[in-house]
């Protein structure tokens, strides 16, 4: 009896102290467990070693290469931007120049139009003056003719009147008055 | 008779001092983590709330606020995590 | 009892794996794979024509470089810190690629959920920021870290003790624990819900309702897997940005 009880207790304690299985795989006996938060030496070596390798390679080989490419591309992009800016400003300058030329041409055209208008006006004035002059000339000629005709008519009238007056005097007196007297009298009468 | 008494004693579950210690550890581990989570919980909530307020007020400073917020969360959270480690240490 | 009770496995059995050979186990395999993958990415990227628009591997490499430069270095150290980009880049890639196997099927183990790698990285970072501090400020670095500029004399003993502990001991400790505990917690959560799902599906029970209920922990498992994608990235980012902050702080104490 006694030995059986002891055996039971022994088996219980044995159960508790049985080594743990690793990763749930039964039958595999782990070396002594270091506890859940103690670092394990092989993990430390491998993890630390691989990190050091990565950091050193990254510092001296891998990163500079990628970074150089990135910088080169960024510089390229920046240069392209700058050249595009330069081209844009050049195009702006050309546009400004063209606009200046356009303004010059417009001014020239306006000047020409103005000149044509003034010359046209002058010509018109000249023609008008010429026409006016011709009209005045003709009117003067007509006036002169009329004056001449009037003078001629007056002379004829004076002659006729003198003739009539001389005849009348001859008839009245029997003697013909002198032409000079008659002429004087007639001009006196006609001037009245 | 003595043998029978021993048999009865053996059949009853034996509660050793180690078992008692383990039970006490298991229950206190839960308390340890629960208590450790209260402060950081409040702290992180307050921190993030204030950060959101700051970002809403000044959206242009959002990047800086976010970085600082993560730093603050990291510092605050460490307390809860130390509680968690204690939980692992004494509980499991 | 309606079903056999759910028993969580012993913690070591979900963290420790069978050695592949005597001095090489799964964690070491993941760490080596992380190095090899990041090296491959950059070797392939370097071999491509750099003048064209980047695509594929080169795009990946350039995106990560720009993320480190604009998202981490410029935000914390400014232009002076750009020389640290390769180190921070390898740190980020290594941690990220060690975190990600936690959600890759059949690997299912983040290498950073074991203490070794986070501790090693934190010690490396500690050595580097101490070295940078001594290089930039000489022996004054000690007094600067213990008494930041502008501390009144009366407070110097108190501030000195706090800053000493915080700078030299708490920083590497919290770096280690943050990464390690986050990944370990994520791993344990995934294990919990996976076990819950499988034990519900395979439960020998007369209550038929129990088996379809397995969909609930399964949904949680899917959600947590998606969450772990975020955590894997975020922890790598936080470790890297804290490293940048520490290095920047030792180089220029006034910031």
Find the CB nearest A1 among B3, B88, B89: B3
Residue C179 burial by Cβ neighbours in a 10 Å radius (0-12, 13-18, 19+):
buried
pTM of the prediction? 0.73
Q: Per the CB < 8 Å rule, is C178 touching B71? A: no
pLDDT at C39: 93
pLDDT at C89: 95
Q: Per the CB < 8 Å rule, is B64 touching C185? A: no
Report how far residue C213's alpha carbon sits from residue C227's, in angstroms, rounded to the nearest whole number. Answer: 22
Pick the residue from chain A with its C-alpha nearest to B9: A5
Q: Per the CB < 8 Å rule, is B64 touching C75? A: yes
CATH architecture for the domain at B31-92: Up-down Bundle (1.20)
- pLDDT higher than 60, residue A23: no
C124, C117 Cβ separation under 8 angstroms: no
* Helix boundaries (H) for chain C: 11-15, 26-47, 57-66, 74-76, 85-99, 116-137, 140-146, 156-165, 171-201, 215-251
pLDDT at B12: 67
- pLDDT higher than 50, residue C1: no
Q: Determine the 3-state secondary structure of C61 from DSSP.
A: helix
More confident residue, C121 or C158: C121
Inter-chain CB pairs, A–B, below 8 Å? 18
Each residue's pLDDT tens digit, C159-178: 888 888 888 889 999 999 99
Banded model confidence at residue A13, pLDDT cuts 50, 70, 90: very low
Each residue's pLDDT tens digit, A145-192: 999 998 888 888 888 888 888 888 888 887 777 778 878 887 888 777
Among B2, B5, B7, the residue to mutate for chain A (most A Cβ within 10 A): B7
Domain boundaries, chain B: 31-92
Residue C237 CA from chain centroid, whole number: 8
Report how far residue C227's alpha carbon sits from residue C221's, in angstroms, rounded to the nearest whole number. Answer: 10
pLDDT at C5: 64
Banded model confidence at residue B42, pLDDT cuts 50, 70, 90: very high
Q: pLDDT above 70 covers what percent of chain C?
A: 97
The two structure tokens encoding residue C245: 């902050």
C60, C93 Cβ separation under 8 angstroms: no
Report how far residue A115's alpha carbon sits from residue A100's, in angstroms, rounded to the nearest whole number. Answer: 23
B56 to chain A, any CB pair closer than 8 A? The answer is no
B80, B14 Cβ separation under 8 angstroms: no
More confident residue, A30 or C131: C131
Place of tokens 């110097």: C156
- Secondary structure of chain A in HEC code, one letter for each residue: CHHHHHHHHHHHHHHHCCCCEECCEEEEECCCCCCCCCCCHHHHHHHHHHHHHHHHHHHHHHHHHHHHHHHHHHHHHHHHHHHHHHHHHHHHHHHHHHHHHHHHHHHHHHHHHHHHHHHHHHHHHHHHHHHHHHHHHHHHHHHHHHHHHHHHHHHHHHHHHHHHHHHHHHHHHCCCCCHHHHHHHHHHHHHC
More confident residue, A55 or C14: A55
Q: Per the CB < 8 Å rule, is B3 touching A2? A: yes
Radius of gyration of chain B (CA): 24
Give the gap in angstroms from C-alpha B92 to the nearest C-alpha of chain A: 9
Give the gap in angstroms from C-alpha B10 to the nearest C-alpha of chain C: 25
B10 to chain A, any CB pair closer than 8 A? The answer is yes
Q: Per the CB < 8 Å rule, is A66 touching C180? A: no
Each residue's pLDDT tens digit, A25-51: 443 445 556 677 788 888 899 999 999
Domain boundaries, chain A: 39-191
Report how far residue A159's alpha carbon sits from residue A164's, in angstroms, rounded to the nearest whole number. Answer: 8
C129, C84 Cβ separation under 8 angstroms: no
Find the CB nearest B70 among C177, C184, C238: C238
Give the gap in angstroms from C-alpha A78 to the nearest C-alpha of chain C: 13
Q: Determine the 3-state secondary structure of C181 from DSSP.
A: helix
Task: Choose among C174, C169, C149: nearest CA to C159.
Answer: C149
Pick the residue from chain C with its C-alpha nearest to A76: C51
Find the CB nearest B92 among A2, A9, A36: A36
More confident residue, C13 or A130: A130
C129, C249 Cβ separation under 8 angstroms: yes
Q: Determine the 3-state secondary structure of C187 from DSSP.
A: helix
Subunits in contact with chain A (3 or more CB pairs closer than 8 Å): B, C
Q: Per the CB < 8 Å rule, is A58 touching C114? A: no
B77 to chain C, any CB pair closer than 8 A? The answer is yes
C121, A98 Cβ separation under 8 angstroms: no
Q: Per the CB < 8 Å rule, is C65 touching A63? A: yes
The full DSSP string for C81-140 is GGGGHHHHHHHHHHHHHHHGGGTSTTT---GGGSSHHHHHHHHHHHHHHHHHHHHHHTTH
């Amino acid at each position: 009896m006694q030995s059986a009880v002891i055996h039971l207790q022994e088996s219980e304690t044995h159960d508790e102290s049985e080594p743990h299985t690793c990763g749930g795989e039964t039958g595999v006996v782990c070396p002594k467990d270091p506890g859940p938060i103690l670092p394990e030496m092989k993990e430390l070596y491998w993890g630390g070693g691989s990190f050091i390798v990565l950091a050193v390679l990254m510092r001296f080989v891998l990163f500079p290469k990628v970074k150089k490419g990135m910088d080169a591309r960024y510089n390229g992009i920046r240069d392209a931007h700058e050249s595009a800016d330069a081209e844009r400003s050049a195009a702006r300058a050309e546009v400004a120049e063209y606009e200046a030329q356009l303004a010059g041409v417009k001014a020239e055209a306006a000047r020409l139009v103005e000149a044509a208008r003034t010359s046209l006006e002058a010509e018109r004035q000249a023609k008008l003056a010429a026409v006016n002059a011709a009209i005045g000339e003709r009117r003067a000629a007509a006036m002169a003719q009329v004056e001449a005709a009037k003078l001629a008519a007056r002379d004829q009238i004076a002659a006729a009147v003198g003739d009539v007056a001389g005849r009348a005097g001859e008839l009245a007196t029997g003697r013909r008055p002198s032409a000079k007297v008659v002429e004087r009298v007639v001009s006196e009468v006609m001037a009245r | 008779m003595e043998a029978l008494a021993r048999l009865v004693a053996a059949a009853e579950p034996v509660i050793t001092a180690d078992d008692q210690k383990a039970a006490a550890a298991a229950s206190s581990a839960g308390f340890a983590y629960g208590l450790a989570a209260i402060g950081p919980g409040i702290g992180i909530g307050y921190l993030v709330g204030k950060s959101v307020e700051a970002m809403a007020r000044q959206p242009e400073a959002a990047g800086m606020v976010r970085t600082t917020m993560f730093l603050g969360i990291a510092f605050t959270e460490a307390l809860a995590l130390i509680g968690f480690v204690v939980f692992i240490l004494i509980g499991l | 009892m309606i079903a056999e009770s759910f028993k969580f496995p012993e913690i070591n059995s979900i963290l420790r794996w069978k050695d592949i050979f005597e001095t090489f186990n799964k964690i070491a395999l993941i760490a080596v794979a992380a190095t090899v993958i990041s090296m491959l990415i950059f070797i392939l990227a370097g071999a491509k024509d750099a003048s064209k628009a980047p695509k594929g591997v080169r795009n990946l490499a350039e995106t990560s470089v720009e993320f480190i430069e604009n998202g981490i270095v410029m935000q914390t150290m400014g232009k002076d810190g750009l020389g640290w980009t390769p180190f921070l880049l390898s740190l980020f890639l290594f941690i990220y690629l060690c975190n990600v196997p936690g959600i890759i099927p059949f690997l299912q183990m983040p290498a950073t959920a074991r203490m070794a790698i986070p501790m090693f990285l934190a010690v490396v970072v500690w050595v580097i920021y101490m070295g940078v501090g001594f290089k930039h400020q000489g022996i004054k670095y000690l007094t600067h870290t213990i008494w930041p500029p502008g501390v009144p004399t009366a407070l110097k003993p108190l501030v000195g003790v706090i800053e000493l502990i915080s700078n030299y001991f708490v920083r590497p400790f919290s770096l280690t624990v943050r990464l390690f505990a986050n990944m370990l917690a994520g791993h344990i959560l995934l294990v919990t819900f996976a076990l819950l799902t499988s034990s519900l599906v395979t439960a020998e029970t007369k209550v038929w309702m129990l088996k379809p209920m397995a969909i609930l922990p399964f949904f949680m498992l899917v959600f947590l897997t998606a969450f772990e994608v975020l955590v894997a990235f975020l922890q790598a980012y936080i470790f890297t940005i804290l490293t940048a902050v520490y290095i920047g702080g030792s180089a220029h104490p006034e910031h």
